[in-house]
């Protein structure tokens, strides 16, 4: 199983949270979290929210 490091900062507050998960889980969580407006990185690369899915 290939893994990736997901880092996120809920609500843009506090320290980064780092977790190592499977590639599929990292992609799914990154998409969800970035659409919440949270700062998200996968293996150190910033993940941008999809404009059509951003939370209101």
Q: What is the pLDDT of residues 16-42, one digit of tens each?
A: 999 999 999 999 999 999 999 999 999
* Strands 17-22 and 3-9, sheet pairing: antiparallel
The residue extents of the domains of the chain are 3-51
- How far, in whole angstroms, is CA 40 from its chain's centroid? 4
Q: What is the pLDDT of residue 50?
A: 76
C-alpha to C-alpha distance for 41 and 54, rounded to whole angstroms: 17
Q: What is the pLDDT of residue 55?
A: 54
- Which tokens hold the place of 33? 């979290």
- Model confidence band, residue 1 (pLDDT cutoffs 50, 70, 90): confident
In contact, 42 and 35? CB cutoff 8 Å: no
Summary mean pLDDT of the chain: 91
28 to each of 6, 14, how far by Cα in Å?
Answer: 11, 23
């Amino acid at each position: 199983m290939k893994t990736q490091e997901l880092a996120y900062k809920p609500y843009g507050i506090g320290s980064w949270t780092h977790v190592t998960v499977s590639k599929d889980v990292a992609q799914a969580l990154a998409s969800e979290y970035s659409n919440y407006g949270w700062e998200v990185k996968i293996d150190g690369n910033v993940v941008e929210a999809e404009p059509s899915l951003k939370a209101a």
